[in-house]
Amino acid sequence: MTAPDTGDRTPGAAAGSQSSLATALTPVLTVAVSLLGLCLLWGFAANAWPSRAFPGPGQVWQVLLAEAASGDLFYHLGATLGRVAAAYVIAMVVGSVIGVALGSYRSADRFFSPWVILFLNIPALVVIVLAYIWFGLNEAAAIGAVAVNKIPNVVVTMREGARALDPNYAEMAAVYRFGLLDRIRHVLLPQLQPYLAAASRSGIALIWKIVLVVELLGRSNGVGFQIYLYFQLFDVAAILAYTLAFVAVMLVIELLVVQPVERHATRWRRRPA
Amino acid sequence: MQPVGAVVPLRVDIAEKTFRSAQGVSITALQDLSFEVRQGEFACLLGPSGCGKTTTLRILLGLDKDFSGSFQLPEGGSNRIAAVFQEPILLPWRTVEQNVRLALPKSLRTKNLDGLFDTLGLAGMRSLYPAELSLGLARRAALARAFATEPAVLFLDEPFASLDERTAERLRHLLLTVWSARPTTALMVTHNLREALMLSDRIIVLAQRPAHVLGMFDVRLPRHYRNPQVMSDLLRSFHQKFPGVV
Ligand SMILES: Nc1ncnc2c1ncn2[C@@H]1O[C@H](COP(=O)(O)OP(=O)(O)OP(=O)(O)O)[C@@H](O)[C@H]1O
Ligand SMILES: [Mg+2]
């Protein structure tokens, strides 16, 4: 957060919508200015050392526009984004369930802990290759391989979260006979929220990088496939265009989805995280 | 077994409850603890600190099943139980009103709570989060939650501890007001004798650990007669019956 002490986050403050709009825009503006600075630096460097392997931002922008106009850009971005989303959802759900179970039952944790360490240390590439060999070059193998790479991380984080659960809330819920869904929604998830947020953050970053590898090795579309294609053509401008386009998409998701969701989830704290 | 629909009291018959600490030391918290609370009666469990009062309530609430003996809960109309714990234990991420409504069974979720919130002085605080409440207000919210469920039996564990005396006194009166509007069988833990004499129909006096019943003290007087004069008489006769206690 840029300004933790602006003091205008109080709900229903008299200053109202104008200042809250400013608060909402400040992080976006900061990000824009900072990225602009990076672009200028890049342009300057590309001018100083002109080379086909190091195009300036202008060239990359041209390629980006051309790819967008032909529709290719959106097709491949969409394919990659779909895989990222699917792998993310699977990894978060499976990893959370396993993590919470391990955090809640000590004996299960003692037994499965070595498995978790083993899976944490298997290289992503090995999982991908094995998945393609065992299950064929298909979408399920691709997404599954990415999810399996991420699941041990989620397990470890959510296990910490489950260990930190306050038994008082569970007992209160037991006395008042909360249903299973209410328990999950109103007792369990809010307590796990900081851990879910941490796992999501590191998760999305890790997952999209692995998705590119998966696409490079065994898919015929997606950003990873395109980068591989342009690598063979030695077209650095196109490689950068696809990479930056996808980074931009992830940034927009972070700003427009992740951060607002997090602000909403922590609104009950006196000072939002 | 009781015939269906009969008025069943709260009956407690715990033979023994032993804790085993991490170092392997075992502590017997309860031994041969048996008593009854009649239907619609407000009873107090009075005993020294650490004697096993919270342990008893946890067993009755079904939170601790590792004991020998048995107990029976009253079943007047609903078979719901409600508890006000030693700490308020409100969900910090839900508003006061959501905290209360979440504790209600589905059939009562949308019921009108205006009267209850008004009585407890919480009318303006329904949309606040627990972090925005003082301890006294949080305790009131916990009381609201307990009474909103229209329980067959209500357990309270020192609900007025660590409040200043004036706030505690106000809350005791509030508790009496909501309880009188719908008298449920209630069992309240306390180590405050004055509080017990003011609120209860009968006081169950517990011994030092391991807790067992030393005796009963019945307060037959209606509550509105318990003025300061009468209270000091009650105190005197309690001390006569239980010399050395409290
Ligand atoms: N989980 C536990 N493990 C081991 N011993 C325990 C445990 N819980 C309680 N005890 C022991 O049992 C005894 C009774 O505890 P309990 O909390 O019931 O006392 P209490 O009467 O509620 O005291 P207070 O008035 O201070 O709240 C204490 O001596 C305590 O040390
Ligand atoms: Mg206690």
- Residues in A closer than 8 angstroms to B61, CB to CB, are 171, 174-175
The CB of B52 under 6 Å from ligand 1? The reply is: yes
B39 or A7, higher pLDDT: B39
Residues with CB under 5 Å of ion ligand 2 are B 54
Q: Give the number of whichever ligand sits closest to the CA of residue B211.
A: 1
Sign of the torsion angle spanned by Cα atoms B118, B123, B126, B128 = negative
> Do A30 and A36 contact (CB within 8 A), yes or no?
no
Who among B82, B91, B106 is closest to A186 (CB)? B91
Q: What is the architecture, at CATH level 2, of domain A57-265? A: Orthogonal Bundle (1.10)
Q: Which two tokens stand for residue A215?
A: 């696409």
Q: According to the model, what pLDDT value does residue A3 have?
A: 41
B window 28-47, beta carbon within 8 A of A: none
State the residue for tokens 């589905």. B106
Residue B26 near ligand 1, beta carbon < 6 Å: no
Q: Which of A121, A176, A66, A97 is nearest to B91 (CA)?
A: A176
Choose among A249, A248, A246, A227: nearest CA to A238. A227
Q: d(Cα A54, Cα A61) in Å, to the nearest integer?
A: 13
Distance, in Å, from the CA atom of B177 to the CA atom of A247, rounded to the nearest integer, reads: 62
Structure tokens at A85: 């989303």
How many beta-carbon contacts under 8 Å exist across A and B? 49
Residue A33: other Cβ atoms inside 10 A: 9
Q: What does the pLDDT read at residue B43?
A: 92
How many Cβ atoms sit within 10 Å of the Cβ of residue B13?
A: 13
Domains by residue range for chain B, with CATH: 10-79+152-241 (3.40.50.300)
Is B131 an interface residue toward A (CB < 8 Å)? yes
Question: For chain B, where are the alpha helices, taking DSSP H only?
Answer: 53-60, 96-102, 114-119, 135-148, 165-181, 193-199, 228-241
The band of B177, judged by pLDDT with boundaries at 50, 70 and 90, is: confident
Q: What is the pLDDT of residue A270?
A: 65
Ranges of residues in chain A whose predicted pLDDT is under 50: 1-16, 272-273
pTM: 0.79
Say which DSSP state B215 is in.
Answer: E
Give whole-number Cα distances, B77 to B11, B39, B144, B151, in Å: 17, 12, 20, 9
State whether the beta carbon of B51 lies less than 6 angstroms from ligand 1.
yes
**Cα dihedral sign, A53-A59-A64-A67:** negative
Q: How far is the CA of B182 from the centre of ligand 2 (A)?
A: 26
Helix (H) or strand (E) holding B155: strand B153-157
With H, G, I as helix, E, B as strand and everything else as coil, classify residue B217.
strand
Phi then psi for residue B49, to 5 deg, are -60, 135
Phi then psi for residue B97, to 5 deg, are -65, -40
- End-to-end Cα, chain A, rounded Å: 8
> Which of B51, B57, B190 has most ligand 1 atoms within 8 Å of CB, for mutation?
B51
Determine if ligand 1 sits within 6 Å of the CB of residue B190: no
- With the CA atoms of B173, B176, B178 and B184 taken in that order, what torsion angle do they form, in degrees rounded to the nearest 10? 160
Closest ligand to the CA of B53: 1
Q: What torsion, rounded to 10 degrees, do the Cα atoms B151, B156, B159, B165 define?
A: 100
**Would you call A176 and B103 a contact, using CB atoms and an 8 Å cutoff?**
yes
Q: Is B60 on the interface with A (CB under 8 A)?
A: no
Residue A12 forms contact with B (CB below 8 Å)? no
Task: Give A207-242 as a 3 state SS string.
Answer: HHHHHHHHHHHHCCCCHHHHHHHHHHCCCHHHHHHH
Residues 250-269 of A with CB under 8 A from B: 268-269
Task: Note the pLDDT of residue B192.
Answer: 85
Interface predicted TM-score (ipTM): 0.86
Query: What is the domain partition of chain A in residue ranges?
Result: 57-265
pLDDT at A82: 94
Q: Provide the token pair at B178.
A: 């909501």
Task: Spell out which residues of chain B touch residue A171, defining contact as CB-CB under 8 Å.
Answer: 61, 63, 89
Is the CB of residue B55 less than 8 Å away from at least one CB of chain A?
Answer: no
Is the CB–ligand 1 distance for residue B27 below 6 Å?
Answer: yes
Give CA A263 to chain center in angstroms. Answer: 17
